[in-house]
Structure 1
């Protein structure tokens, strides 16, 4: 075992204080010289990690640290040095095929919890009664700590060396996330000081709030969906099959419990003091209190401080401090009798707006998204909300740091509805350049648009993804990852390029095989004669969704007729179509009048022949309005909607008082069913729907 104390630097190490940042070329070193310098660098980097992540007291700057780290990587690469215990392993290893299951060294149970002081006092009464019955005559003190809202993990050290890590799972068996946890900088690869021979600890992996906000902002600006909250971000990151992805994301950890060890501890407080001596990071907001009233006061103080912390907590954990008393109390089948989680009330509607990110949509529209401290709205915890457009930002006068009120309606992203408390006089300055491609941003009324068109990666990538999506041409295999790979390989620049792909080109890409390449080419070929409505959806015309596309197809019959009316700017022709008003009509005309879009359409029509729609409709369902939820067996919801409308009925996306039937398929959403109950709308299953069609003489 090492005899280092928690803050003692490795002796005679030139890379600890004021280290050099320029080095002799690695090719000038012998094998022995390389190993010696690498060993000193590893010792120094571990020391600097401990100072930064555990003690929060670094002694060198980031640039100096980066230089040491880069030098160690260069030595390990040039001399093929053993890296098993090296800090460089934090950059991630080879991708895994799947996460293996691993049995915990001891059960990782849950904790009884409640949100009322009376429940905490009842916990105290049970503790005192049981200990009295067991003959315990010591003082009952409580160790109090924040209840972190992250992902629980088990980490095992043998002879001071990091061995493995696993998620909590079902408490007995978890997922092996060893290589991913290895990349977390605040998890030491080797313990410090007078550590035990064997140690299995429990901790909580989390994503710091500031880092979460910044990372979500980057995702939005790349056109990716943001994480819902820091806990989801941490959980999703830790379960990545590629450790290098985990290494790129800003995770941290708090360690707070021992599952098994070769040493004993008298109390939780003593355990908390020993962890930093071994290099294990703990939270500094813990305390030992004399009675349950003091524990309740502690919880109230943490509730007041909650919004100022850089990590999410949703309550506090109150533990009997004496470990001998804990053994006497024992546990139920699911939870220890010596611990209780005193939960916070859910945040309601008001929260802090941390940042505003600008997302570029497939039509070039720039949409500002508010990144929030997580808040519960309508029973759902959210951490982002829509600001819709620059005009709304100006109207609200909102900026990062403001306290805002959030409103959520239905199943859509919440809105920022007002600034409750401003952090200053400023209003967020909307960018005049696209955050993705740097093209100029043009304002169109309240909206803002990137002028880059298909030259903008965000628009190009999303346009291809949308073209192949289920509601459009439904080309299986052309999803987000595939499109990104095709763009990186410069095989496609527009949807039309999909039709020029060859099996040989695809099979040559990393991660693709002959069969997957053949399948994709076959899928693309099968989309060459799409239904007109699906083709209209695939074009991504602003404000033209599935319902409007079906109405347009039924009214005009052919793509040539729609294109001709659009190019002529015939808004009256479009406004004569159900569900098309002046704004949508103008959007359609603008699309078909655009020179860039003309060229894209010409390229597409060299490969694709949209099939004319049947303009003749029956009247068997005249006056009947249907809404569908869930998946249907044998055909898609879109096809069911087409069938309804082909026979004079209406198919809408939301339930209202005018709805006649809600058709419920497999795995339905709850909100539409709740709306149907509230509006008194009849709910039927797929079998009843088909019987209704048959009764009206409609072949399905």
Structure 2
């Protein structure tokens, strides 16, 4: 690779790493596994070493963690909370050992598990816990004292304590607590279900309301003394034993004299990953003696006396028992694999999507096969390959008839297989769930469980039937009291007066999302105007292409659509025109993109203000964007705006513009 090719690759890696770094540390929403991230970081390090002129001061290889957000007050760490250099093979561990022994030939190592949580600092004055903070960027973190106080295993007072003590630990959520949290969220029909224990722990610790943190049942392992006054500690093992004596929760460790012993212990920890009630993503190797650590020193980012070994994502074999076909609200048939349950990355996996017909054919998947599965990004189960075909295996074939209603299925241009029956019961249920959702008709109290009961009893066969319900219909359902029945009917009645764009979105038209529904209603005043429009009329809307326009014409030309709209009119739905964008307002002719968390208002509130004052909002940054309104934890949109030179404003600057 020459320098010009290296420059292109360095820029690609830098942009990708910054994007994923922000998702992981600042938004607690990673899209890839730690292993995949670390591999890219290693590639960037190697390129910067080979071509030093390409390394920039703000390179991801020089950064530690994320940044301190604006939600909490900032804490400057007196002792930097460094990151660790990663190894992925035995050879790399041996290379680390060789470099250490060049300085300290008689070294002893301490091997510990590497926890997958959120790193924190905890400070004690005369034995009293006085402050706790996140790592942040390693130099500046967030003050989360109140939230750390809710962790039962973290001592709030320690006996026989030194004058001052700062310890470092990892806040985590046990698998048991994680499963309980997900169950509660599913029962409450929350939208943002926790994806994995690490994200759940990080998000819980950074809650503004400490009561929510307390409900999450977080835990902590303390693994290091950052600084102390009034005691003398000479080695890591001495420090760990001292922390344990003071009552801090510490984990297991092993002292090793050779690199072979280190590798053996790392292997043992990895083999036992499934037996722990918490997530680990590797093992940590540390020089035990503090004097030797001082001699070895640190780089700008890593201590030279420690190394983290990262385990690859767990891949395990299991048997494919069956393939279940789910029918979505637009009629798409999605195959879901049913497996013999297997413990993977801390949770039991028995189901995973097989995506579509092409995926199954490409992998050659047959029922009864032994397949290899893993969790993509350590979150979503996925099938990697077929390890062994079952005897006399026959490749799985999609059904010719819909498993829900028995109607013929067809394959469209998108390679999706769909049920041809618009009144298919499975489509109906998913369509009803979408119809009543918050961004659609927003009918509070009509969750999936209630809708299923209504459908089973034949009370609801189309969305229009929701507006024919009576209180006695609801109260006859299981566990529905008269008061809740009346409340639900009130919510249904209230939804009759929603703006037209909500109904357009609620109809579930293919390729038409909430933003598109709003744009349609800004360009067409009434439902009749929309129904009589042709594809070429819809194409005139800024941002609309041929596919979206044709989807609209096709949908509104159906006899069933005309009948449904007529029923809505008869049942009293206002279908009132959306408020037209104000002409001549403060934001006339301007296009805003909103990203991140704003200090005092929701993005939806800011968007409404923009539209009320003549402006437009967009979901993507382009050269046509006038301003990017950015809050805390702004991600890739902010990065793109900076690249394009778009004006970036804060909430306060936005409000000042209104004046």
TM-score, normalised by the number of residues in structure 1: 0.47
